Amino acid sequence: MTQYEKSCATLELPAILEQLAQRAVSSAAKERAAALGPSSDAAEVKKRLAETSAARTMMVTRGSPSFSGVKDVRASLQRADMGGVLNIRELMDIAGVLTSARLVRGYASDGAKGEGSCIDYLFNSLQTNRFLEDKITSSIAGEDEIADAASSELAGIRRLIRAASARVRDALQKIISSPSYAKALQDPIITTRSERFVVPVKAEFKSAVPGLVHDVSSSGATLFIEPMAAVKANNELRELRAREKAEIERILAELSADCAEHADDISRDFGILVQLDLIFAKAKLSYELDAVEPELSEREIRLRRARHPLLPKDKAVPIDLLLGGDYDTLVITGPNTGGKTVTLKTIGLFCVMAACGLHIPAADGSAVPVFRSVLADIGDEQSIEQSLSTFSSHMTNIVRILEECGENTLILFDELGAGTDPTEGAALAISIIEYARSRGATIAATTHYAELKVYATNAKGVMNASCEFDVATLRPTYRLLVGIPGKSNAFAISERLGVPEEIIADAKSRIGTETASFEATIEKLEQARQALERDRDAEQKKLREAEENRKESAKLRIELELRLEKAELKARRDAERIISEARETAEAAFAEIDEMRSRANDEEDHRSANEARAALRRRLNEAEEKFAERSAMPEERRGPTRPAEAGDTVEILSMGVKATVNEVTKDGNLVLQAGSMHMMAKQSEVRVTEREKPKKQPASSPSSGAFRAVSTASELDLRGMDTLEAVTVLEQFIDAAVMGKLTTVRVIHGKGTGALRQAVQASLKRNRAVKSFRLGRYGEGESGVTVVELK
């Protein structure tokens, strides 16, 4: 095992590959998943990641293709190619591969829309063979049975076998049902021995049933005898079964030869299906880990909200990290169990996962390089058998790492220099890091030594980082803080746990002045960082609230605009319909007046009729002009009045919505509130409504009631409307009909699904002006019309 392979095992890549294998379907794909290794070729890694992304996109939009029939048939195909005869199970496996190839290719064809993907070439490379697939599946009836349809010869032989079996059974049935053989038979049944039909006979009555003895029971009390009456039929049956067996062998040989003829195509299809199975297993793992495709960088490791994939989602604390850009070395400090080792493993594991073509559980914008090798010294590998201490085992491992490190290498050191004298260990750790840096490696190391914190603070290209610890709760937060060294919390933890104050004070006095000053500086930096984080969190909360309010306001504005537009459109249509109906009714009235005038001789009648006709036309024209003016120039009717003041209720002209004036700014603009929506508006964009007096309506002329009666229609067509709109129009129609003194009206709602009819009838039941209603009869529109009788 190479040092790289050993490091991959240390980083727990095999556990990730085991999860990958569980999501593959075929055994061959599971084996490939377990054996998957990282690539150091950037082009190959880019291709692998793109394949995973393409499969995930397909899987999300149309599910995963079926690989259930993919079995390894290469050995069977090789044997068939050498002239061997395959058994039924082997032929069924080959048919399964052919079926999977056809279904998987169809999966790609059915969902092909727009631009193609980088794995389309795999789908297109599948060579389907529906003829051979159908030939095998139609010839095989089950795990160990060839179907009658496999050949006409086999079907004929099996018909003869069934007939011969029936004859044998008939002959034996006469024997077991005959009273003369009742005493001789052990049981009145027909059974088989050596593929021949026999009956069980008591040993003492052997001579009573002449025939051939084929078997004896273990007690010797029963003989299984083939009566002479059945011997001939049994012989015929045996010959037919021999012919059946020969025909089955011929069919299997023919199917095997057909498979051998297409062995190369089937083997190629199998390989492609296994490859696709593995790619879609990667996509499934990506989806379940909520992972993303990382960008491939030259050297920089950039992780955003990275979560270790083996930790539960609710327990994994996301980390943000930069390494390999402005600095090539990261020194991580902090308390034990604070997450330093998990951070190291996350860095290394993400790099090798990406090199395997796996997505990483992090946020968009994360990036990793393609390293030649990732080398890790993590964990305690002391060995009693080899007489190695903790320090010795670490040094042995580090020596191998330093031999392999170089350009384009990532090195991970856990507790570098630990296990020996602190002064010597710290010096050795710094020297090891400097040596690896001189070889061009990217390094991340954890430590408890204060000397390494100072080194990381002063050395160019080296950055401090720490795992945050909450002294108040004595628990780590597992957050990684880049740029800030970790503070030693030994005294604080000891004091919280009850160590006497005099011991703590004595211990503090024994620390060197330089060390104490450095720890104090770290503490001040930590306090400043926490204050800045609190301020940042507060600002971000305000920004989020402002953004949510903006989105809510925009949403409400759009909804109000749509409602206003729909209401105006409906009002315009209603007005147009009413005026049109009134004009039609008026024309009918004019015709009546003309007829009356033609019959009348009195000149006064002529003059009255002409005046009434002129007055009616004049009112219709005025109504049309007013409607046209309202549709064309709504601003004149709804223009601004006096300047609005705080507390006024105003109408927003562009939206037709009422709002309250909360404030008038210095520049004269208004701060408005409409429901939960806040907005700014100019004085010219609103109209004050709260102090307006309603305009005086002109008195109705004596003939207005008559005009309403004339212009009211007795029929309403609701077809094409939704139920809410239809109910509103219906209620207005009933009101107009009552005012027009109509007693019966017709409502046309159509048949359709019946939803509109139910809504109409439910509204009529609630309306007090309705006396009764019924569906139309033959000639009235039947169930598409409701006839309403008014009070």
Dig out the tokens for 455 from the structure. 């080194």
345 known ligand binder:
no
- Cβ atoms of 638 and 612 within 8 Å: the answer is no
- Residue 208 DSSP code: G
- Cβ atoms of 637 and 652 within 8 Å: the answer is no
Q: Tell me the C-alpha distance between 245 and 158, whole Å.
A: 11
Among the residues of 356-496, which ranges form H helices? 390-404, 422-438, 450-458, 490-496
- Cβ atoms of 411 and 301 within 8 Å: the answer is no
**Mapping DSSP to helix (H, G, I), strand (E, B) and coil, where does residue 367 land?**
strand
340 known ligand binder:
yes
To which H or E segment does residue 462 belong?
A: strand 462-470
Closest to 470 (Cα-Cα) out of 339, 308, 321? 339
765 known ligand binder:
no
Dig out the tokens for 368 from the structure. 């990793």
Beta bridge partners of 295: 367
Closest to 376 (Cα-Cα) out of 19, 3, 761? 3
Closest to 428 (Cα-Cα) out of 420, 464, 409, 515? 420
Closest to 452 (Cα-Cα) out of 488, 427, 434, 469? 427
Beta bridge partners of 680: 671
348 known ligand binder:
no
Among the residues of 660-783, which ranges form H helices? 704-711, 723-739, 755-766
Strands 462-470, 367-369: pairing kind: unpaired
- Cβ atoms of 410 and 351 within 8 Å: the answer is yes
83 known ligand binder:
no
Question: Residues of 363-397 as b/e, b for ≥16 C-beta within 10 angstroms?
Answer: eeebbbbbbebbbbbbeeeeeeeeeeeebbbbbeb
Q: Tell me the C-alpha distance between 573 and 568, whole Å.
A: 9
For residue 152, give the amino acid letter: S
- Give the Cβ contact number of residue 577 at 10 Å: 13
334 known ligand binder:
yes
To which H or E segment does residue 55 belong?
A: helix 42-62
337 known ligand binder:
yes
336 known ligand binder:
yes
- Give the Cβ contact number of residue 16 at 10 Å: 22
DSSP characters over 119-178: THHHHHH----HHHHHHHHHHEEETTEE-GGG-HHHHHHHHHHHHHHHHHHHHHHHHHH-
Residues annotated within a binding site for ATP: 334-341
Residues annotated within a binding site: 334-341
